[in-house]
Each structure stands twice: as structure tokens, then as C-alpha cells.
Amino acid sequence: MSKRIGMEVAIAAAEAAALCRFDVAAVYPITPQSHVAEHLSDIVADGRIDAEFITVESEHSALSSAIGAAGTGARVVTATSSQGLMYMHEVLPIASAMRLPIVMIIANRAVSGPLNIWNDHTDIMHERDTGWISLFAQNGQEVVDMTIQAFKIGEHRDVMLPVNVNMDGFQLTHMVEPILMPEQEEVDKFLPAYKPYAMVHPDTPVSMGTLAMPEFYAEALKAKDMAMAASRKIIAQVWKDWEKQFGRKYEPIEAHRAEDAEVLMLTMGSMGETAEIAINELRKHGVKAGLLKLKLWRPFPFEELKKLTKNAKVLVVTDRAVSFGGPGGPVCGEVKAALYDEPNRPKIVNYLIGLGGRDLTISDFVDMMKRAAEATKKMPAEAYEYYGVRE
Amino acid sequence: MADKKGPETWKEMNPGCMVFRPGSSREYHTGSWRAQKPVWQNEKCIKCGICYIFCPEGCIKEDEEGYFVADLNYCKGCGICAHECWPGAIKMVEED
């Protein structure tokens, strides 16, 4: 049986990776991910698992080493944040193109500049199209669970893609939370030993990371895209297996009081918990409010979103990143694309919130919901609003 | 590209474009990229082998008499051999 313990979430993430018996960790520390890096290093140095920790000189090298290690058939974990993730950018699509199921724990943080080490989702939004599966956790328990799930999803033969697990920097990484930490035997049962599709070994010659001429490049991209599409089914299966074994349910979009909701809000990450309290407050006052928590950013759950929003009059989409000169926040752009062909789509209001660690309270979410509800009569003048910005 | 065999559709692509046949890149004749080819004038050649060392394709070989020849199936016509040749024994000549 899992034990309930109080643990800092960053450390719990590293513990979850250790429960998966990773073979190699290649990590470069960066705030607010550093505790993940340090603790992974401790786990290896203390000999708790039979693994290598590669002390790399940069994030570019961290992911490059991870790819090399994964190519030899190792189960590999890495972790980063913000500028570090951007420094990995060049290598991210290579990891997915080589179909190596590396797991990356990301402590989401704003990007410079201005220099800011606090939490928002800008870092991962820049990496949206690199072919990684992206999971978003809303609390420490989900970070632990998703880290373990990530290996099983990525390593499935129908998928073979790298997976990143996103946790809000500081709001989650530095928070001590009560966490049900699974036992080793339970994780062993859930996640069997990694059987790589191919590995670099003298007995099994293989060329990885090959060149594709114009005649093959589009076919290679479609094959990768189809693996991403196929992952929807596998993610659902892995989450079903998880629920069966551990009793905690996971869905691409977790709905809270959404069924009869006229005004829905969509959040991603830790702010979902604050928004949930706001929704409950509004319900007490007779407002038909509901919440959708997006847990799966890539592949994006188009069908689930359509189903969950079909009866709503207004959908408030919160974004924690900016698309300069774009149609709104990146999440809102996806939501609008998903619902464009729906005959009964809700009015969509977009707020950019929590940028660079800006705090939001329950009353802020109540305020957003109330103001957005007006959209049935009159849409806001602007396509999106920097919520709480000083004009 | 005419002599290159490969997958026809995306479904036939190996995961990660992996190639499991060792040495298969030999089947791709990069010589078709060439605009000029190196021609050796053996009367000027001192058999130093600098062309062999510098060839980035590794396509220059020593013949039985100790002179050097390029495998034109792979020579891309870069001209490095001609540039490096001390006694000027290699000339780059336009392809027909």
C-alpha cells in the first residue's frame, strides 16, 4: 500500500522517477527545477538504484546525453525549466524524431526577459510543436503519478515518444504536500522493465538519427504525427490501468461541476485548485459555473473538449503565456480551433493570468467568471485581456 | 536518387527512420551531385597520398602502382584533393 507522506513536490518527482528504476539521469540544475536535479543525483550517489547520473555542462548536453543513453536502450530521465528548456530546444524534436521515450520533468517558469524565475507556462508553449507528449499536473500527487505514467505511455510500442511532465515552478516544486507515494512493488507491477525497440549495440547494428531527403522527410513527419495520434488510445489505457491499480482517476480534461454549467472556465496546472474553490463559491450563489482542468496538452484532447463544452454559453480560457501578435494565449488558440466547426459553440473569453508568478486569489477567479458571463450579451472589445494588469 | 531504394509510404518508414542494414549508405551514390571530377596526371604525382588523407568522402584509393584514383560513384567533386595536391597533379575537369 502507498504511504501518505509530506514531501516537497520537486523531491517527490525525483522519487517517482527512482521508483521507475531509471538507468540514466542527465540533468543540469536550474531554478525552480534544481531540487529535482539534486535529488536525482543523491539517489544515484547513495546507490539506491543501479543508475548513472551524468553531470553535464548544459541543458543542450543534458538532452543530448539523454538521447545517447536512450539509444543504447536505457530508461532515461531528465528535468529542466525555462531558459534551460529553451537551450534544449534544438534537441527536443530530435528526441521525438528518434522515437526515444525519454521522460522530462519540467518545472514551468517564465522566460527572460525581463528576467523572471517565477511560474507561468511560457517555457513549454515554445516547445509545443517538438513532438513530445505533454502532461500537466495540478498538484504534487499528480506530479508523482504522471511521472510514473509517463514512462509507461512513452515506452509503449505504439507510441515510442518522449513525454514531459509539467509542474508549476514554486507553486508546486517548492511546496510540501501530502503525497501517497506508491511502493516499489506496486510501481514494478505497473511499469515493467523497459524493452527498447532497438538499441545501439555491436550485436544489433542500427543507424539512428539518420538523414531524410525531401523524398522522405514528409513521410517521416507523418509517421511521427501518427504515433502522437496513436498515443491518445495508449494514454487512456495507461490512465485506466492506473485507476484500477491505484484508485486515482486521470482524464485528458478533468471536469468539475461542468455538466449543467453555463459558464465554464478552463485552466491548466496548479491554478485549477484555486479556480475550483471559486467555482464552488459561485455555485453557492446560484451561478451555474463549471471548471475544466486540462491535463493533456499534447496530443490535444479535441473530442473531449467538444463534448464538455457543448452546453456552455461562455467558456473562459485562462492562459499563462503570451503569443505576441497572435490571436490570444496559446491555449485559447487551440480551444478556438477545436470548437470552430461546432454548431453550438460557447462564446470564448480569454484571460492571460499568472504571468511571471503573479498571484491569483479565489476572488480573482470569481471576478473573471462574473465578467466573462457578460459575453452572452456583449463580447469584450479585445480578443484577450491581461487580467489584473495596471493600465 | 534513381538507384536508391527506400520506403514508399509513411507506413513503411521504420520508427525513428532507423536503418537496420549495416553499410546500406554505400548504395547511395553521392557522385551524382558532382559538377567537376578530379583527374590525376600521374607524371606529376609524387605518391605522397595527401589527396587520400584529405578526401572528406574517403573515396580516394591507392592503385597497384601506388598512384591514386577516386571512386566516382561517391566523389562529390569538392576539389579538396586538387587544392591540397603539392605538385599540382590533380585537375578538376567539368563533367560532360
Using the Cβ of A99 and the Cβ atoms of chain B, whether some distance falls under 8 Å is answered with: yes
Record: contact B15-A207, CB cut-off 8 A: no
Lowest-pLDDT choice from A98-112, B22-36, B66-80: B22-36
Query: Please, what is the end-to-end C-alpha distance for chain B in angstroms?
Result: 19
Instruction: Report the largest interatomic distance among the alpha carbons of chain A, rounded to a whole angstrom.
Output: 69
Note whether B19 contacts A207, CB cutoff 8 Å.
yes
Contact residues, chain B, for A213 at CB < 8 Å: 1
* Residue % of chain A over a pLDDT of 70: 100
The pLDDT confidence band at residue A259, using thresholds 50, 70 and 90, is very high
User: A222 — contact with chain B (CB < 8 Å)?
Assistant: yes
pLDDT value of residue A86: 98
pLDDT of residue B1: 39
Q: What pLDDT band is residue B5 in, cutting at 50, 70 and 90?
A: low
Cross-chain Cβ contact B20/A227 below 8 Å: no
* Alpha-helix runs per DSSP H in A156-213: 184-190
Please report the pLDDT score of residue B7 as a whole number: 87
Confidence band, pLDDT 50/70/90 cuts, at residue B2: very low
Give the residue on B whose Cα is nearest the Cα of A212: B17
Q: Quick one: pLDDT at residue A352?
A: 98
CA distance A240 to A250: 8
pLDDT given at position B95: 87
pLDDT at A97: 98
Nearest CA in chain A to B24: A207
CA distance A91 to chain B (A): 14
**Nearest chain A CA: its distance from B65 CA (Å):** 36
Average pLDDT over residues A212-233: 96
d(CA A177, CA A185) in angstroms, rounded, equals 23
What sign for the dihedral angle of Cα A107, A132, A306, A341? positive
Assess A11–B contact: CB distance below 8 Å, yes or no: no
Task: Using the predicted structure, report yes or no on whether residue A148 has a pLDDT greater than 70.
Answer: yes
pLDDT bin (cut points 50, 70, 90) of residue A2 is confident
Across the range A37-45, mean pLDDT stands at 98
- Asked if A216 reaches chain B (Cβ–Cβ under 8 Å), the answer is yes
Q: How sure is the predictor about A248, in pLDDT bands with cuts at 50, 70 and 90? A: very high
Question: Quick one: average pLDDT of A199-216?
Answer: 93
* Of residues A197, A210, A227, nearest to B19 (C-beta): A210
Rounded to an integer, the average pLDDT of A280-289 is 98
| DSSP secondary structure letters along A98-165 | TT---EEEEEE---SSS---S--SHHHHTTTTSS-EEEE-SSHHHHHHHHHHHHHHHHSTTT---EEE
**3-state secondary structure (DSSP) of residue A358:** coil
Measured in degrees and rounded to the nearest 5, phi and psi for residue A130 equal -95, 5
* Nearest-CB residue to A219 (from B9, B16, B22): B9
How far off is chain A from B47, nearest CA to CA, in Å?
Answer: 36
Of A100, A197, A220, the CB nearest to B17: A220
Mean pLDDT value across residues A303-326: 97
Please judge whether B15 and A160 are an interchain contact, meaning their C-beta atoms are less than 8 angstroms apart: yes
Instruction: Give the A:B interface size as CB pairs under 8 Å.
Output: 53
Chain B interface test: which of A210, A221, A228 (most B C-beta within 10 Å): A210
Does the CB of A208 have a partner CB in chain B at under 8 Å? yes
When CB atoms are compared, the residue of B11, B16, B22 closest to A208 is B16
Q: Is the pLDDT of residue A28 over 60?
A: yes
User: How many CB atoms within 10 Å of residue A288?
Assistant: 17
A198, A218, A222 member nearest B18 (Cβ): A198
Chain A contact probe: residue of B8, B10, B11 with most A CBs at under 10 A: B10
Burial class (CB in 10 A: 0-12, 13-18, 19+), A125: buried
Q: What is the pLDDT of residues A117-142, one digit of tens each?
A: 999 999 999 999 999 999 999 999 99
List all residues 6 or more positions away from A13 whose beta carbon is below 8 Å from its beta carbon. A36, A79, A105, A143, A144, A147, A165, A167, A173
In this structure, which CATH number among 3.40.50.720, 3.30.70.20, 3.40.1000.10, 3.40.50.150 belongs to the domain B32-94? 3.30.70.20
The region that residue A286 occupies, defined by phi over 0 for left and psi between -120 and 50 for alpha, beta otherwise, is left
- B73, three cell numbers: 560513384
Q: Mapping DSSP to helix (H, G, I), strand (E, B) and coil, where does residue A354 land?
A: coil
In angstroms, the CA A176 to CA A251 distance is 25
Mean pLDDT of A170-180: 98
- Measured between beta carbons, the chain A residues lying within 8 angstroms of B13 are 216, 219-220, 223
Facing A216 at nearest CB: one of B6, B16, B20: B6
**CB neighbour list of residue A347: distance below 8 Å, 6 or more residues apart:** A313, A314, A315, A375, A376, A379
Q: In this structure, what C-alpha cell is assigned to residue B1? A: 536518387
- Rounded to whole angstroms, how far apart are CA atoms A21 and A77? 10
Any idea which fold A3-246 has? Rossmann fold (3.40.50)
- What class is the A253-386 domain? alpha beta
DSSP H or E run through A387 = none
Please indicate whether, in this complex, the C-beta atoms of B16 and A205 are within 8 angstroms of each other: no
pLDDT over 90 at A279, yes or no: yes
Report pLDDT for B9.
Answer: 95
The structural domains of chain B, with segments of one domain joined by +, span 32-94
**Is residue B96 very low, low, confident or very high in pLDDT (cuts 50, 70, 90)?**
confident
Peptide bond into A114 cis (omega under 30): yes
Q: What is the pLDDT of residue B3?
A: 45
Domain spans in chain A, listed from the N-terminal domain onward: 3-246, 253-386
Q: Please provide the average confidence, as pLDDT, over all residues in chain A.
A: 97
What's the rounded mean pLDDT across residues A157-170? 98
A337 lies within 8 A of chain B by CB: no
The ipTM assigned to this model is 0.88
> Is pLDDT above 60 for B4?
no
Average pLDDT over residues A204-222: 94
The whole-number average pLDDT for the span A106-113 is 97
Other CB atoms closer than 10 Å to residue B96's CB: what's the count? 4
For range A105-114, the mean pLDDT? 97
- pLDDT above 70 covers what percent of chain B? 95
Closest Cβ–Cβ partner in A207, A215, A218 for B18: A207
**Residue B25: is its pLDDT beyond 70?**
yes
- Contact list in A for residue B16 (CB cut-off 8 A) is 97-100, 160, 198, 208-209
Tell me if A223 and B1 make a contact (CB, 8 A cut-off).
no
The reported pLDDT for the residue numbered A380 is 95
More confident residue, A37 or B95: A37
